[in-house]
Structure 1
Amino acid sequence: RVLASPVGRQAPNSRIAMELADSFKPSDRFSGFVDDNSSTSIVIIELPADAYEQVRTLGDNPTALAAQGVTGVTKSELKGREGEHVYLTGAQQTPLVDYAKFILIFREKGVAAMITANVPEAALTSRAISKEDVEAALASAEVRDEASGANALFELGYLGPFEEDVSLMGNTKGYRLKADAGATPGEKLRPFFLVAPSLHKLPLNLVEETATKAFKSLDQFRDAEITQLRKVTIAGLQGVEITGEAADWKSGEAAGLYQIMLPGAGGGYFRLVGFGPKAGWGDSLAEFRKIAESFRPLP
């Protein structure tokens, strides 16, 4: 069993503190912690308190989590946890690793929080970490009065007609089309760009194969087809750019897809994704490429 420190430690840019083993270190890629011994990551999301009523329903809506790649969701009790909370478990397959997911949603001191532990199935099998370790850490989570600091992982020097969408949860940053740039409220499918740093720093060796698998499994779309794949270099990082088309999973609307996967200099990767309706796709793709070319990882 991995012994946890009785002193709660705060995650970067977070008011949340947790009792964790010394092997867990604050992540420099997202708000949370990582354990190199088991390749486990703990991702922390904080929202206004009134968001709790909406977020807590995730356990009653498997489709919402399935859209994010989480399946087999089960709601249960979390031993040692009191107060308002919901505890969920599930599974997620990614291009590199299959994860067990442990999700705690709670409200405390004016904050609605969602803490997700991403544990490789192989780590549970080998007992590098146990389910009991994870649940004890989640049960210890508390909200402190002040947040700790954190550094950004990347910057974009160009956004053009796009602006950051602050509603996106997790370590992924999203950018939506501005209202004055032609966005229509209520549109089923709008041009959107996002940057998703990996949760780990494992070396990405099979870049083309991994990028292809990730492209064809974009959560919001089905029947993805690749029209072009080429190698690119951005900010000194050599990666793969893929363009193609698919159908929106909900509406069936034809969509254009764009993805770049860049292995990080110190391991892990950055995944840049853009999508939008086929109508006007040429303009959207041109903007996505400008945004991608302005990408710079930060030390």
Structure 2
Amino acid sequence: MSSFQEKVVKKIKEFGLTSWSIDNRTAIYIVAILISLFGYIRFTTLPKEQFPDVVVPTISVTTVYVGNSPKDIENLVTRPIEKQLKGISGAKVNKISSTSQTDYSLIVVEFDTDVKSEVAKRKVKDAVDKATKDLPNDLTSEPDVQEFSLSEIPILFVNISGDFDPVKLKEYADKIQDKVEELPSITRAEIVGAPEREIQINVDPYRMTAAKVSFMDIENAIVRENMDITGGQVEVGNMKRTLRVKGQFKQAADMSTIVVRSSARGASVYLRDVADIRDTVKQY
């Protein structure tokens, strides 16, 4: 092989870009720095979420049945609904998962990405309707079918129990809810299965007749007394203070002294004279 041919072969084997990079190291350093700087800027400005939304057709079924253990919720509520959900046709279901807590059932149905959310929700709603006949008749609330977002997944369940009356436990739950919602990373905290306070006024028709009191008299008296009234403003030095007369009832005993009716001779009929007042919880 001649010397000319050897030079041609050597030139062909030589990688031009590598040689240029070696000969122009300063330019390569500048390009590398610019690329790194651009990547850093893009990384720092890229939106980031701790729990990013993932677009997957997902439907949730939530049911509240107060007064039942997780095992009872599983057998009475979750399984009958799951049975119908597994029979969904016309839309590909990738996964069905469920959680049975005290007083609460959550079922999550994940469809294939090709299924539209509206179709998925309708399919789940139809399946839940079929399962209604197998569910208890005294459910606290009917199964609620909603389009599910991963950002709505509860990240923590807190069960509150103790040797207290239900109303007191609800007060503790309210305080915990307020504290949790103060945390900057928490969007919302919900109380599920808590008893709802109810003040019952059980009127006695015979005592009402004897006192010449009607149901309308009782209703009007309660509405009239159970309110806060603004009394205007007063000046205190260089400041103005708003006066408010607080009249809303906080306990059942406060209602016993409501004047239901006054006679022309000055005699008054109190609510306690015609009704028994109880501070209790709402029965479902």
Structure number with larger C-alpha Rg: 2
TM surpasses 0.5: no
Q: Provide the TM-score with structure 2 as the length reference.
A: 0.23
Q: Provide the TM-score with structure 1 as the length reference.
A: 0.22
Indicate the structure with greater strand content: 1
